Structure 1
Amino acid sequence: MKNNKLVMIMTVMLVAILLVGTVSVVAVMKLTDADGEKEPSIEKVLEASVDIPEVTTNLASNDFIKISFKIETDSKKAKEELEKRDFQVKNLIIYELSEKKAEELQGKEGKMNLEDTLKSKINDLMQDGKVKKVYITGSILQ
């Protein structure tokens, strides 16, 4: 009788250990899948991106800039909306640039700040998706 009780306790403990181990493995696999998402392929990036052709405008410092962008969205639907809103995007770009001085746009940090500002402002316009990244594809500051 004592032997049966011991075997039962050992069986219950073994099942509990296996159950905890299985739950742990599943949890670790789910977490690594969520964290380990790969960057989308360049084809997918291009499918969801919109080119903004060169915009020429005056800056607040009486200099002028010629600049062009590629805007990456999170889906094809967002790309379609952004293409329809191209006039609004150009308007936003001109407004933002007209408030900037040449010194603010020089260097890596100035350009990254402009990209982040435009991303935020364009996302405020968007209804079907979001802008993931704004890239400056050409820039001449005079």
Structure 2
Amino acid sequence: MKSKNKLLTIMLIILVCITLIGVVALLILSQLNKPDEETGPTIDEIVESSIDIPEITTNLAGNKFIRISLKVQTDSKEAADELTKRDFQIKNIVITELSEMTPEDLEGKQGKATFQSSLKTKINELMNDGEVQQVYITSYIIQ
């Protein structure tokens, strides 16, 4: 009787081990077969879904003026097409925002990031299709 209990215990242990090995193997296989996570858009997709805002010259608050060019990246080609049609509205937003800023407001990385974020928010309020992902300053001179 003792040897039957021992044999039964050993069989149960072997069965549990085989089951655990099968479960681990299935988990490993499912992880390996997962499609790669999206790493973001390629540079070609970014360029296709972006528009250029040509150089704008306007007064800042105070006696200085700024010349600035921008590139606006959207989430799709359709959104970029919409922005192209809204070019005059975007220029108006840029000029309005800059007219309230001093050269000190645009100083350093933080000043430019704040300006870019503000533009992104205001332009997104206009959008019907898609949204602005990023605003890049491509040229910048204060005189």
Structure-1 separation of matches of 2:101 and 2:83: 24
Structure-2 separation of matches of 1:26 and 1:81: 41
**Greater shift in the superposed pair: 8-17 or 78-87:** 8-17
Question: How far 1:49 sits from its partner (Å)?
Answer: 0.7
Unaligned runs of 5+ in 1: none
Give 2:75's aligned residue. 74
Instruction: State the SS of the aligned residue for 1:127.
Output: coil
Output the TM-score relative to the length of structure 2.
Answer: 0.80
Question: How far 1:92 sits from its partner (Å)?
Answer: 0.9
Structure-1 separation of matches of 2:104 and 2:11: 79
Structure-2 separation of matches of 1:39 and 1:94: 31
| TM-superposition CA deviations, 1:75-119 (whole Å, max 9, x none) | 111111111221111111111101101111133322222111111
After TM superposition, list the pairs within 5 Å mapping 1:25-104 onto structure 2.
26=30, 33-34=36-37, 37-104=38-105
Output the TM-score relative to the length of structure 1.
Answer: 0.81
Give 2:109's aligned residue. 108
**RMSD of aligned alpha carbons:** 2.6
- Rg larger in structure: 2
Structure 2 counterpart of 1:74, one-letter code:
D
Structure 2 counterpart of 1:61, one-letter code:
G
% identical aligned pairs:
48
Question: How far 1:67 sits from its partner (Å)?
Answer: 0.8
Give 1:15's aligned residue. 19
Instruction: State the SS of the aligned residue for 2:58.
Output: strand
Question: How far 1:54 sits from its partner (Å)?
Answer: 1.0
Count of aligned positions: 139
